[in-house]
Amino acid sequence: MSFLRRLSRNRLGLLGLIVLFVVVLLALVTPILPLQDPNATETADRFLRPFSEGHLLGTDHLGRDLLSRLLWGTRLSLTVGFAAAVIAATIGAAIGIVAGYFGGTTDNVIMRGVDMLMAFPYILLALAIVAALGPGLLNALIAVAAVNVPFFARNIRGITVGLAHKEWVDAARLSGMGHARIILSEILPNVVPVIVIAMSTTVGWMILETAGLSFLGLGSQPPTADLGSMLGEARAALISAPHTSVVPGLMILIVVMSINLLGDGVRDALDPRLRSGALTRPRPATMVSRKSVPKGEGRGILALQDLETQFHVGRRVYRAVGGVSLHVEPGECLGIIGESGSGKSVTALSVMSLVASPPGVITGGAVRYRDRDLVGMRYLDLRHLRGDRIAYIFQDPLATLHPLYRVGDQLTEAIRVHHRVSGREAWDRAIDLLRQVRIPNAAERANSYPHEMSGGMRQRVGIAMALANDPDVIIADEPTTALDVTVQAQVLSILDDLRRDRGLAIVFITHDFGVVAQLCDRVAVMYAGKIVEQGPTHVVLNDPAHPYTRLLIQSVPELGQGRRDLVSISGLPPPVEDLPPGCAFAPRCPKCEPDCTVAPIPMLGSDHHAARCIHPETPLREAAE
Amino acid sequence: MTAALRLTDLSKTFPVGKRLFGPPKGRVRAVRPVTLIVEHGETLGIVGESGCGKSTLARMLVGLIPPSTGTIAIDGRAFDNSDPAAFGKRVQYVFQDPISSLNPRKSIRQVMEAPLKHLHGMNRAERATRIAEIFDLVSLRQEFLERYPHEFSGGQAQRIGIARALAAEARILILDEPVSALDVSVQAQVLNLLNRLKTELGLTYVFISHDLAVIEAVSDRVVVLYFGSVVEVGPADAIFARPRHPYTQLLADSAPRVGRPLEAPEARETELPDPLNPPPGCPFTPRCPRATEICRAEDPPLEAKAPGQLAACHHPL
Amino acid sequence: MGAYIVKRLISAIPVLLGITVIVFAIMALIPGDPATAILGSYATPENVERLNRDLGLDRPAWQRYFVWLANMLQGEFGRSFRLNRPVIDEVLERFNATLILAGTSFVLCTIFGILAGTVSAARQYGWADKAITFAVLLGISIPSFFLGMMMILIFAVNLQWLPVSGMYAIYGGGDLPDLLWHLIMPATALAVVATGVVARLSRSAMLEVLRQDFIRTARAKGVPERRVIWRHALKAAMVSIIPVLGIQAGFVLSGAVYIEIVFQWPGIGRMLVDAILTRDILLVQGGVVFVAACYVLFNIVVDVAQALLDPRIKT
């Protein structure tokens, strides 16, 4: 149902569908239409022009009615093209699924055979098959289908290999299912959309190929004609009677184009990545659409003021960041802690307008760096600040480093996009940076590619890159989450030393209270897109005011407390596209009172320690300047 | 009484760079010979960092990977997964990534029905009753049954994964990092659920995790893996409080803890040894502060260093 | 890298052998007696038997295969009975013409395809993207032989800008400018479809890459957007574009068959079609094996290019 709705929303796809529908309908009713005999020759009426009396589209070199031949030919071409596609897809998919699912030797033997067939330019194989079987439309169909089987087999095998290693296949096996049942009931439903996509995008191609063989005189034999052989026969009279070529040629074009339009529509409607917008190009900077700009307050080197970032997907609005205010001083480390979906990463990326857009939009607030507003700044100015004054360290260093450049080149580039220095000089500086993050044999390691390094070493490269231009602020987005604990400890100590040596301001995003406790001076706790508590780390950790903070800290198991039941928070965070009117934590809060759910709760307390709670765990003192 | 699980010299070697003919280019010993016993009603925790072989070990226990050497006995009977329908009733598995362990094109009811149909041959009415019972047990709502996996959060999906494992009515559950994909608040919910189920149903758990605190909170005994070998085994309350192997000590010291100052527990910048070309002797030698000549030459055997506590170290703490 | 090339060349040997087996097997399916076809009206039973013996056709199929293979390895592809000249001479001469045509088209489709796809992705949903997408759709939907015919009609017959057909002018031609002059239309017609396919693929590969985390890293470093697109993203996208270029080369070679017929280009495709229609089996066998072998070698070049680009491929 939703598939058809998505398909109909694609205007070009719909156009293709309508055109194709008309053509197929015409082809279906051709036998009952009052047409002349397509094979009746009339030498006196040779090469009649279109719109001649009795021959709407004129006649060909034997005086046969072109309209009639065109419709019969279309019927034939469509039939053969679809048949070839179905045959190739069925056989190819069967081969591909078997090879991909069983893997090992089965896969090896089958795929070597497929590779062998793909080692021919396809027409050679088709020509050879037709040469062996003799010219004829059925033989052309066999040839085209046979030639396309390897393409399907390879494509479907690739998909199946991916599926066969999924955990749900293992789960099915442990549920007592045998191989045949797993293939049919678990794998096949996931492969069918891919087969449909592959078919819908190749039917047009198959029609072209069979038409091509007929054009060469190897397909349909006179007097019956498909569109290809009509063109082939008309070629001799191309100059004297061009309409005999144009008519079948245009028909092929219309048929194939409508099929391709429809095929694209089908692909777009079936491909989940397109649905989620995963195949849209993110702009160089996040889109901004805000009504007003808050006035600067001159706090900290970097300050966020009521920052709001949303994701607009279709008609839905996800309020990922719903009014975040915080600031960081030089030499200070501010931790932002929260669970997944709390908006902490989006907050971090919003600072330098790095939120993927579409669908991300910054809808309110400001980000002040030395009193300049970074939100909505000219791209050129923003680019000059990125990596130079404010730098990032991201979570997964394998995905965040370019896989095809040496790490030395990536560091060199970071320097040279901001400073006019020679390549040699930048390279030396890159090696120096690698030394500063304690990478052994730095000069040698600069020549390595990211995949040749371990996770911990890669993250050091990530840190070195952030340090390249001696920035004022580093925003670290879960930089140690992908690392093992022993490596995490090493990386954290590097970060801590750098901050103390250079007076760096660090904004450190994490979900780990242990890390925050060890590294950060102050901490902000985020929940459902808002900061719910903010204050010095030791105060927040030892004396949390917000019930969420307290429960979250208690639910973390800590080493050395032995076997026990853990404190847990019931329920789930609210979806950010549908937030409750009052406190977002109220539905899960053990201390919830009726007044919690009425209106948005403001931050209460002082600059020193504040929480978004009207029934806090510990009394919050008002500003006591 | 027979042990729930008895592993004898179980190991796994993966060939690297397979060729069509002839031997592979190299071999990686993912798990070196392991001998272990899991008692009935026990929770055995297996802890280690990435690449230590803990997932390979877990997958061997449920027959998803055939072992290279050694044997597994379940309830005293030799391991036999030739008949998936019989095997599935003895051991079940809970996956790390709850969402990807559910087929995206199957409703939760279809997922839940598979083990009941294929392992227990129940008819439609029996299945419905049983699913209702299990869902009650893991506190899932009945209306979830008609939904599809993408509609669930990680915590809910993991409950469904546990429910599926329970449906098989196996007495032994292998839990492969069951909470590491979850947020802490949800992680606690799932851990508590697992604890409750174990007491109520008398289950035996093999619980694999990289998180020391989680392992300590759920386990009776703990196995520490490093580079494919068991380096230490001991009671959960003793092994982290009084580790005997320097690696266990390093792990315990590395976990970030509230109230402890930040310092790198290792002075040197170290990496795991190359699995294709492992050093002779104890694999921890290059990182070990106590390493001597003998460590570089001989692989230490796993021996008792304290009551109930075994370590593979020439110079235990 | 040298070792990698040698390794790839060695691994091509079984593929090449497989190709000869497939071709031989298909040709062995051909009904009728080649001797009868060769002798035509001289086909008395005695003559047929003698010729069969002379050609070794009375021996079992597997023996004939090895004889044929051994001969081919010595460069002896047999004689075309219809043209009455050695197959290898004819094939080499014709392949040269095909190479000029298909090579030009391949270069055109690679350059324009990648350019168009990259621009299209960088300007996703902008007017340039829409125009390119439409042109691509038209390109992959039009039969190349029809396109060629229409080009002849417009540019040669009506406007008289370009020659109708052939490779050289009949009188006074034969030099390079003349060849290029004759090459414009067929090479363009042949390139259109392949350009469309390459452009499509490049666009989706670029869109895929532009979502990757390392692109965000490049932007966070302050790399100018143009450099992000044309260096960072395109280089990564080439990893998935290059293998398809290998397949596209096969499509260009295939399309050349039609174009050679439409433009009377004296290439190997036309030769093969004629040989099939006249049942000149040795010529078909020799031609198919030769072209397939060249294609296999070309794909090794593609693999080497891929290995040079991507350090993650073990060399």
Cβ count within 10 A of residue C231: 16
A172 contacts on B by Cβ (under 8 Å):
103, 114
The CA distance from A439 to A457, in Å, is 7
Q: Is 50 exceeded by the pLDDT of residue A623?
A: no
One-letter amino acid of B210: H
| β-sheet with B26-38: strand ranges across | B26-38, B5-16, B69-74, B77-78
A492 contacts on B by Cβ (under 8 Å):
256, 262, 264
Please tell me the distance in Å from B238's CA to the nearest CA on chain A: 9
Strand A530-536, strand A522-527: pairing: antiparallel
* pLDDT, average across residues B110-134: 91
Residue (of A465, A357, A320, A447) closest to A401 by Cα position: A465
Q: Is 50 exceeded by the pLDDT of residue C213?
A: yes
Average pLDDT of chain A, as a whole number = 88
Which residue of A339, A485, A490 is in closest CB contact with B185?
A339
Are A454 and B272 an interchain contact pair (Cβ–Cβ within 8 Å)?
A: yes
Q: Is 60 exceeded by the pLDDT of residue A277?
A: no
Which residue of B237, B250, B260 is in closest CB contact with A486?
B250
Residue (of C122, C107, C115, C112) closest to C195 by Cα position: C112
Are C214 and A379 an interchain contact pair (Cβ–Cβ within 8 Å)?
A: no
| CA angle B190–B193–B199, rounded 5-degree value | 145
CATH number for C93-314: choose from 1.20.200.10, 1.10.3720.10, 2.60.40.10, 3.30.70.260: 1.10.3720.10
Best to test chain A binding among B108, B184, B196, B198 (most A CBs inside 10 Å): B184
Best to test chain B binding among A485, A499, A542, A548 (most B CBs inside 10 Å): A485
Element housing C269 (H / E): helix C268-277
Which residue of A135, A256, A449 is in closest CB contact with C141?
A256
Q: What is the DSSP letter of B9?
A: E
The answer to whether B271 contacts chain A (CB < 8 Å) is yes
Helix (H, G, I), strand (E, B) or coil at A365: strand
Q: Looking at chain C, which residue has its C-alpha nearest residue A468?
A: C221
What are the Cα distances from residue C29, in Å, to C33, C54, C61?
Answer: 11, 21, 11
For residue A359, whether the previous peptide bond is cis, meaning omega lies within 30 degrees of 0, is yes
Percent of all residues in chain C with a pLDDT value above 70, rounded to a whole number: 93
The pTM of the full predicted model, rounded to 2 decimals, is 0.86
Residues 459-488 in A contacting B (C-alpha not used; CB under 8 Å): 484-486, 488
Are A176 and B264 an interchain contact pair (Cβ–Cβ within 8 Å)?
A: no
The answer to whether B265 contacts chain A (CB < 8 Å) is yes
The CA distance from A151 to C305, in Å, is 22
Residue (of A563, A16, A574, A453) closest to A259 by Cα position: A16
Helix (H, G, I), strand (E, B) or coil at B176: strand
In chain C, what's the furthest Cα-to-Cα distance?
85
The length of chain C, given as a count of residues: 315
Q: Is 60 exceeded by the pLDDT of residue B20?
A: no
> Is the distance from CB of A220 to CB of A229 less than 8 angstroms?
yes
The CA distance from C126 to C206, in Å, is 15
What pLDDT score does A525 carry?
A: 95
What pLDDT score does A625 carry?
A: 38
A556 contacts on B by Cβ (under 8 Å):
184, 213
What pLDDT score does B21 carry?
A: 56
Please tell me the distance in Å from A22's CA to the nearest CA on chain B: 34
- The HSE-up count of residue B217 (CA atoms within 13 Å, CB side) is 25
DSSP-assigned beta bridge partners for residue B5: B38, B74
Helix (H, G, I), strand (E, B) or coil at B91: strand
Chain A and chain B share a number of CB contacts under 8 A equal to 197
What are the Cα distances from residue B168, in Å, to A133, A492, B130, B173, C49?
Answer: 56, 44, 11, 10, 74
Best to test chain B binding among A167, A170, A187, A537 (most B CBs inside 10 Å): A167
User: Domain segments of chain C: what residues?
Assistant: 2-73, 93-314
The CA distance from A421 to B225, in Å, is 49
C142 contacts on A by Cβ (under 8 Å):
252-253, 256
The length of chain A, given as a count of residues: 625
The terminus-to-terminus CA distance of chain B in angstroms comes to 34
Per the model's pLDDT, the better-predicted residue between B202 and B271 turns out to be B202
Are A485 and B49 an interchain contact pair (Cβ–Cβ within 8 Å)?
A: yes
Which residue of C31, C221, C296 is in closest CB contact with A414?
C221
DSSP-assigned beta bridge partners for residue B224: B47, B232
Residue (of A590, A578, A588, A587) closest to A617 by Cα position: A590
Residues 27-86 in A contacting B (C-alpha not used; CB under 8 Å): none
The CA distance from C114 to C199, in Å, is 6
Element housing A304 (H / E): strand A302-313
The CA distance from A259 to A204, in Å, is 6
Interface ipTM: 0.88
Placement of tokens 């809910």 in the chain: B156
What pLDDT digit, counting tens, does each position of A131-189 carry? Answer: 888 888 899 999 999 999 998 999 999 999 989 888 899 999 888 888 999 999 999 99
| CA angle B211–A338–B216, rounded 5-degree value | 20
Alpha helices, H only, chain B: 54-61, 84-87, 108-120, 124-137, 154-167, 184-201, 212-218, 236-239, 246-254, 293-297
In chain A, what's the furthest Cα-to-Cα distance?
109
* pLDDT, average across residues A25-40: 84
Q: Is 60 exceeded by the pLDDT of residue A275?
A: no
| Interhelix angle A188-215/A243-270, nearest 10 degrees | 170
The answer to whether A135 contacts chain C (CB < 8 Å) is yes
What pLDDT score does B272 carry?
A: 65
Helix (H, G, I), strand (E, B) or coil at B230: strand
The answer to whether C212 contacts chain A (CB < 8 Å) is yes
- The HSE-up count of residue B200 (CA atoms within 13 Å, CB side) is 10
> Is the distance from CB of A531 to CB of A520 less than 8 angstroms?
no
The CA distance from A260 to B22, in Å, is 47
The answer to whether B216 contacts chain A (CB < 8 Å) is yes
Are A403 and C27 an interchain contact pair (Cβ–Cβ within 8 Å)?
A: no
What pLDDT digit, counting tens, does each position of A75-109 carry? Answer: 999 999 999 999 999 999 999 999 999 988 888 88
* pLDDT, average across residues A202-209: 89
Which two structure tokens, joined as six digits, stand for C186? 């067929």
Chain A and chain C share a number of CB contacts under 8 A equal to 230
The length of chain B, given as a count of residues: 317
Residue (of A322, A318, A289) closest to A308 by Cα position: A322
| Interhelix angle A66-102/A104-118, nearest 10 degrees | 150
The CA distance from B286 to B264, in Å, is 17
> Is the distance from CB of B47 to CB of B219 less than 8 angstroms?
no
The CA distance from A100 to A90, in Å, is 15
* pLDDT, average across residues B49-54: 85
What is the full DSSP assignment across A587-612? Answer: GG-TT--GGGGTSPPPPEE-SSSEES
Residue (of B302, B268, B262, B297) closest to B282 by Cα position: B297
DSSP-assigned beta bridge partners for residue A364: A308
Which two structure tokens, joined as six digits, stand for A96? 């591909």
Residues 558-617 in A contacting C (C-alpha not used; CB under 8 Å): none
Best to test chain A binding among B92, B253, B269, B288 (most A CBs inside 10 Å): B269
Please tell me the distance in Å from B237's CA to the nearest CA on chain A: 6
What pLDDT digit, counting tens, does each position of C135-182 carry? Answer: 999 998 999 999 999 999 898 888 888 887 777 777 766 777 888 888
Q: Looking at chain B, which residue has its C-alpha nearest residue A480?
A: B256
What pLDDT score does B151 carry?
A: 84
| β-sheet with A604-605: strand ranges across | A390-393, A473-477, A505-510, A333-337, A522-527, A530-536, A610-611, A604-605
Are A486 and B254 an interchain contact pair (Cβ–Cβ within 8 Å)?
A: yes
What pLDDT digit, counting tens, does each position of A212-253 carry? Answer: 999 988 888 888 888 888 888 888 888 888 888 888 999 999
Kindly report the three-state secondary structure assignment for every residue of A111-124.
HHHHHHHHCCCHHH
The CA distance from A261 to B116, in Å, is 45
What pLDDT digit, counting tens, does each position of A14-29 carry? Answer: 888 999 999 999 989 8
The answer to whether A287 contacts chain C (CB < 8 Å) is no
Which residue of A171, A511, A514 is in closest CB contact with B257?
A514
The answer to whether B267 contacts chain A (CB < 8 Å) is no
Q: Looking at chain A, which residue has its C-alpha nearest residue C298?
A: A119
Q: Is 90 exceeded by the pLDDT of residue B98?
A: no
The CA distance from C193 to C211, in Å, is 28
* pLDDT, average across residues A405-415: 95
The CA distance from A422 to A1, in Å, is 60
Please tell me the distance in Å from C256's CA to the nearest CA on chain A: 10
Q: Is 90 exceeded by the pLDDT of residue C47?
A: no
Q: Is 60 exceeded by the pLDDT of residue C184?
A: yes
Q: Is 80 exceeded by the pLDDT of residue A563?
A: no
What pLDDT score does B1 carry?
A: 58
Element housing B19 (H / E): none
One-letter amino acid of A420: R
DSSP-assigned beta bridge partners for residue A475: A392, A507
What pLDDT score does C203 carry?
A: 92
Lowest mean pLDDT of A136-145, A373-382, B84-93, C57-66, name the range: C57-66
Percent of all residues in chain A with a pLDDT value above 90, rounded to a whole number: 40
Helix (H, G, I), strand (E, B) or coil at B260: coil
Residue (of A430, A610, A443) closest to A532 by Cα position: A610
Position B259 confidence tier, pLDDT thresholds 50, 70, 90: low
Are A280 and C124 an interchain contact pair (Cβ–Cβ within 8 Å)?
A: yes
A371 conformational bin, left if phi > 0, alpha if psi -120 to 50, beta if neither: left
Which two structure tokens, joined as six digits, stand for B115? 């083990």
Domains in chain A: ranges and CATH:
3-25+73-270 (1.10.3720.10), 532-611 (no CATH)
Which residue of A439, A517, A572 is in closest CB contact with B153?
A572
Residue (of A227, A212, A242) closest to A70 by Cα position: A227
Cβ count within 10 A of residue A444: 12
**Rg for chain B, CA atoms, rounded:** 21
The CA distance from A451 to C311, in Å, is 9
